[in-house]
Structure 1
Amino acid sequence: MFLRALSLLLVTTLAAFTAEPVPTFHGSIEKLDPALDGLIAPDAKIEVLASGFNWSEGPVWRDGGLVFSDVPENTVFGWKEGDTAAKVVLKPSGSLSGDGQGSNGLQVDAQGNLILCQHGERRIARLEKDGTFTSLADHYEGKRFNSPNDLVIAKSGAIFFTDPPYGLKKGEAPELKQHGIYSVTPAGKVSLVISDIRFPNGIALSPDQKTLYIAVSDPKDTRVMAYDLQEDGTAKNGRVFFNAQPLKSPARKGGCDGMKVDTHGNIWTTGPGGVLIIGKDGKHLGSILTGQATANCAFGGADRSTLYITADMFLLRVKTLAKGL
């Protein structure tokens, strides 16, 4: 094992909504296996694009730029190449009354619509062209969701999403006993896919759509689970794909949260210390060490060969040799 320290490129010194200077950022890329060189070039840099966010989350590439959530600020921000700051593109994003948490995970459907996990509204919603929201899923068996957290859209158009209780208001009791993983079809049918995980968080599909990955942010057992996804949308054969708990230390903050998969089936999941790069065989190839509790990541750019990272108050990126799905 050895640590490959990389220089950092500061792209901007101010976020669009703060007059405070960007704090000093220290990061590095750790190579644990030679296979990492096929995914990240040896001279790759961690770039700071913007800072000053309360808790950045849910990045997704859309319309030639990145959009991402600031959950406590109830805001979706946008950033494009050439911008000197991130800009507000949607507010409120997840609590229409303004007294709850904003959006968390974001995705873009086949029609280019922004799909949001809305903590405050406790639902999955679609942003319409007129700026209104259409609820796609807000109840299961007559009970409201806890606070949908992250989502992935299958080729069939079905949306799979996680529902931990993180976005519930203080004193607000959950209506559902489980921290479920659900699916909703384009026709609106909601199904409970997995019911026995506490604190499910990030979610992703393998390139062949046959494996469903769940990042579990349980502070006592943070890990990535894998399930065989059946043609009828059910999941079987749950197993631990990667145990990240041993990586936790005072110097490596955070747990398994958001994740993405590249075209070769490697998993890029946030975890202790930053972003963990896990081979499709479950081997830990290396980590992008941000020094921050790191929430999520997404591939973007014209050829999807740039990894954008939301790490606490920072928006970061790393150019990659791997390409996202």
Structure 2
Amino acid sequence: MELKIIASDIGFGEGPVWHPDGFLCFSDVVNNQILKIENGKVEVLLQKSGLKTDPQPYHNDQIGANGLVIDKEGNLLMCQHGEHAIARLTKDGQVEKLVDSYQGKRLNSPNDLCLGPEGEIIFSDPPYGLKGQELLPELAQPHAGVYKWQNGTLELLILDMEFPNGVCFSHDYKYMFVGTNKAEERGIRKYKYDNGVLSDMEIFVDENADGIKMDKKGNLYLATMQGIKVISPEAEVIRKIETPSMATNLCLHEPYMYITTENVVYEYFLPNLAL
């Protein structure tokens, strides 16, 4: 199997997701765009995806949207670094901000997100989009976190991670996984998930990762510095797909896996996916 380049010359690729209308979306975090790939052609889907105004001194160069997901209505949900927000791109092209603060202070820079069984949005909020990639408690949150947003209410679920990153559920929604790509807090966390309540945290596998996804067989796909690692339900590495540069995220759309790296998006033929 070979990696096929389907987009290049990207500032910083992230958040690939397959759109139900039949194309791939992904973020260019540095160039503040969401792009689409349809019939082999790369086009801009949304300009100023993560910040509508000029960057401020507390921003770094990663001001665009990051993680993406499609909701059940077909809207594109996005993590906006520059706006410190979770927002929704509706099917008619309108951008609607859903949430940008917690307890009266801005979020840091929402990074990745996934949907729970009732449509709740789970998202990570590390300081990757802030100056120096450090917390700025005078401006935003005094901590990183993982949150649940549902019906207009934001709830802090995880407080004890410095750089929470990729988030995903098992297909039965009984478990939630959270990754980090910082070596000092290595380990993919696994939690029991019951009606928005987390319990029984364990380190599922001793790995770092950026984006993470799970198939119906319970295999966990990790975007890592070396490429994609596939982890079995028994927490064993069962496959490695090396990429020339760091893999930032992935999405699974049978029979392909789409991989974003810093400057390139790849398509990889992966038959017998259990999606």
Fold-level similarity (TM above 0.5): yes
Root mean square deviation of aligned Cα: 1.6
Paired letter, 1:88: V
Paired letter, 2:114: V
User: Which structure would you say has the larger Rg?
Assistant: 1
Change in Cα spacing, 1:239 to 1:155, as seen in structure 2 (3 Å) is same
User: Which of the residues 130, 135, 139 maps onto 1:168?
Assistant: 130
More strand by share: 2
Is 1:242 aligned to 2:198, yes or no? no
The more displaced of 218-227 and 121-130 is 218-227
Instruction: Give runs of aligned pairs for residues 109-124 of structure 1, distance below 5 A.
Output: 109-124=71-86
Q: Residue 29 of structure 1 corresponds to which residue in structure 2?
A: none
Instruction: Give runs of aligned pairs for residues 160-199 of structure 1, distance below 5 A.
Output: 160-169=122-131, 173-174=136-137, 175-185=140-150, 187-199=151-163
Is 1:215 aligned to 2:171, yes or no? no
Paired residues of 1:305 and 1:324 also in contact (CA < 8 A): no
Paired residues of 1:67 and 1:78 also in contact (CA < 8 A): yes
Paired letter, 1:195: L
Change in Cα spacing, 1:222 to 1:272, as seen in structure 2 (3 Å) is farther
Q: Residue 240 of structure 2 corresponds to which residue in structure 1?
A: 287
Q: Residue 27 of structure 2 corresponds to which residue in structure 1?
A: 69
Q: CA deviation at 1:322?
A: 4.2
Distance of 2:103 and 2:51 partners within structure 1: 23
Instruction: Give runs of aligned pairs for residues 1-325 of structure 1, distance below 5 A.
Output: 44-62=1-19, 63-81=21-39, 83=40, 85-99=41-55, 101-169=63-131, 173-174=136-137, 175-185=140-150, 187-231=151-195, 233-244=196-207, 255-300=208-253, 304-323=254-273, 325=275
Paired residues of 1:241 and 1:282 also in contact (CA < 8 A): yes
SS in 1 for 2:68: strand
Change in Cα spacing, 1:94 to 1:322, as seen in structure 2 (3 Å) is farther
SS in 2 for 1:208: coil
TM-score norm. by structure 2 comes to: 0.91
SS in 2 for 1:275: strand
Q: CA deviation at 1:236?
A: 1.1
Paired residues of 1:183 and 1:193 also in contact (CA < 8 A): yes
Q: Residue 248 of structure 1 corresponds to which residue in structure 2?
A: none
Paired letter, 2:49: S
Q: CA deviation at 1:324?
A: 5.9
Paired letter, 1:107: V
TM-score norm. by structure 1 comes to: 0.78
SS in 1 for 2:9: coil
Change in Cα spacing, 1:241 to 1:157, as seen in structure 2 (3 Å) is same
Paired residues of 1:103 and 1:116 also in contact (CA < 8 A): yes
Paired residues of 2:255 and 2:272 also in contact (CA < 8 A): yes
Question: Unpaired segments of 5 or more residues in structure 1?
Answer: 1-43, 245-254
SS in 1 for 2:185: coil
Distance of 1:120 and 1:324 partners within structure 2: 36
Question: Unpaired segments of 5 or more residues in structure 2?
Answer: none
The more displaced of 101-110 and 151-160 is 151-160
Query: What is the aligned-residue identity percentage?
Result: 35
Q: CA deviation at 1:51?
A: 1.0
The more displaced of 218-227 and 264-273 is 218-227
Q: CA deviation at 1:305?
A: 2.4
Q: CA deviation at 1:169?
A: 4.1
SS in 2 for 1:220: helix
How many residues are paired up? 265
Q: CA deviation at 1:221?
A: 3.4
Paired letter, 1:311: T
